[in-house]
Structure 1
Amino acid sequence: MERRKLLGAAFVAATASLTDLQLTGSASAARRFNGRSTSALLEQIQKTHGGRRWRKAQVIEAHVAYGGPFWAFKGVADFVGTDHVVADVHRQRIRLTQPSGRVIAFDKYADVLTVTEPHGAVERLWHPRASFDGYTATSQWSVAQAGYFRAYATWLYLVEAYVFTYPGVRITEAEPWVESGETWRVLDVTFPPSIDTHCPTQRYYFDADASMVRIDYEAEVSGALPTAHYQPRHAVFDGALITTRHEIYARNADRTPDRSLVRISLDVKRASLH
């Protein structure tokens, strides 16, 4: 119990007084840039990330290693480990097989999360997003709720930035961001209800090569704490650029990350597109 209190303090203390900029907020944070320039950036993003290969693919398969104290804090310590992941490219559907043999499957079209335990027991959580109503940053989750969070988030992390081409996705360019001596271009991406995301509008950062290097969001299912999600490593698999290292931090009011704690980490290994 004492360990959980300490973890809770690490997660929420730094954000208790945050008055973070809303991603769709003031004119200074959402200035529209020249349409031609933004269109050129979007084209370069798809080219860099292998958009042509993504269009031809139906499925992405990978092994994803999940770490960080977040899982224990949420009451699902056995979620730390490496899952075998199979995800559809053109619809939000994903299956994750955990080391224990537990299988987690999410189908957004049906809006159901299914957990199949190794001994055969099956749990279905219909309309899983609604199950988080009233939850705060310190609320613990059931296995099905944790599975839903992992499923929709992993699907996004694998398919981004190809998901920008999905119907109903709206994109606005915001002010450039300077970090570590680099200038990154910034896109505010608003997703339609047909795609489950951390929050309706998420902010994406791209380096000079149009590689995705950071995402900002507030995960609604976990108290909407401001988050800075970094992507420091990438690799090309079957002609598609995929982020192979994800590091997720709390985000300060000035948009800088609190690097004192990596809340969640993901490492993507042996990915392939079919």
Structure 2
Amino acid sequence: MALLDDVIDANGGMARWNSLKGFTLHLSVGGTLFSSAGHAREFKDVTAEGSTRTQSIRFTGITGGEHSGSFQPDAITIESLDGEVLRTWRNPSFASAEAGSPALADELHLVFFCGVAIWNYLTTPFLLADPDVVVEELTPWRENTQTWRRLRAQFPPRLVTLASEQIIYFDESALQRRTDHDLFGMKVAHSSWAHDSFGGIVVPTLRRAQTLQSDGTVIAKPVLMDVEIFDAVFE
């Protein structure tokens, strides 16, 4: 697909991506989804180490630097800083979440939600080239004075995502600028900007999730989720 090819090339190219095994991020995550559940400070100044090839990511320094948390599709763990497993959640899912709430009731839910979100953020758009992901180009979207091209992506059940169907917008430089999908009964848009290159891979260093109106325009407040990536290393 021409658009997907352009996007992958603009973000570093498939050859470079396929040469990688993992990433390390320094980031902070916040927003009303977290503060309303009592987690306003628990994902500030966190280190995330993940695989580019499988869905796995480990967060160090959560809950004020006291714990680490590990995400894999079949298990979430909370660990002490010396590696002792304190709590485990087997076969996690979003199924129990109610409309308007990500069910961030405790550290396990927090690590699950952030693990899914951050891993998918870091692997898109390369993840869209997976043979089991169904991608379709939609009509362009007019964003102020720019024309953004769009892809609809349908993800297979084997990939844990925030939503199985997502609409992804790319600007005139083929960089990802927005992703729309359902989230816990809401229509949300994840805006992304401030792209930077780390080891040849282009990453949006700022992301913001907000609710959507029926006409597709973004509602400014509340800010559901804010992600700031301070640094990224790929290897």
Q: Calculate the TM-score normalised by the size of structure 1.
A: 0.79
Match of 1:226 in 2: 187
2:234 pairs with 1:270: no
2:68 pairs with 1:103: yes
Match of 2:181 in 1: 217
Residue aligned with 1:77, SS:
coil
Q: Deviations over 1:200-231 (max 9, x none)?
A: 11110011111000000112xxx231101101
Distance 1:136 1:230 in 2: 21
Query: 2:91 corresponds to which letter in structure 1?
Result: H
Asked if the contact 2:30/2:41 (under 8 Å) is kept, the reply is: no
Instruction: Please report the RMSD computed on the Cα atoms of aligned residues, expressed in angstroms.
Output: 1.7
Match of 1:50 in 2: 12
Distance 1:143 1:47 in 2: 37
Residue aligned with 1:262, SS:
strand
CA 1:167/1:212 → structure 2, altered by over 3 Å: closer, same or farther? same
Query: 1:54 corresponds to which letter in structure 2?
Result: W
Higher helix share goes to which structure?
A: 1
Q: Deviations over 1:215-249 (max 9, x none)?
A: 00112xxx231101101210000001011000111
Q: Aligned to 1:176, which of 127, 132, 140?
A: 140
Asked if the contact 2:104/2:110 (under 8 Å) is kept, the reply is: no
Query: 2:51 corresponds to which letter in structure 1?
Result: D
Q: Deviations over 1:29-68 (max 9, x none)?
A: xxxxxxxxxx111111110011322110000111011122
Gaps of 5+ in 1: 1-38
Q: Aligned to 2:210, which of 249, 253, 260?
A: 249
Pairs aligned (count): 230
Residue aligned with 1:81, SS:
coil
CA 1:240/1:75 → structure 2, altered by over 3 Å: closer, same or farther? same
Residue aligned with 1:167, SS:
coil
Match of 2:25 in 1: 62
Query: 1:233 corresponds to which letter in structure 2?
Result: A
2:26 pairs with 1:71: no
Match of 1:11 in 2: none
Which residues in structure 2 correspond to 1:114-263 (within 5 Å)?
114-118=77-81, 120=84, 122-129=86-93, 132-133=95-96, 135-138=98-101, 139=103, 141-219=105-183, 223-263=184-224
Residue aligned with 1:147, SS:
helix
Per-residue deviation at 1:90? 1.0
Distance 1:137 1:262 in 2: 13
Per-residue deviation at 1:76? 2.4
Sequence identity (%): 24
Per-residue deviation at 1:142? 2.0
Match of 1:91 in 2: 54
Query: 2:197 corresponds to which letter in structure 1?
Result: V
Asked if the contact 1:68/1:80 (under 8 Å) is kept, the reply is: no
CA 1:121/1:46 → structure 2, altered by over 3 Å: closer, same or farther? closer
Distance 2:70 2:104 in 1: 21
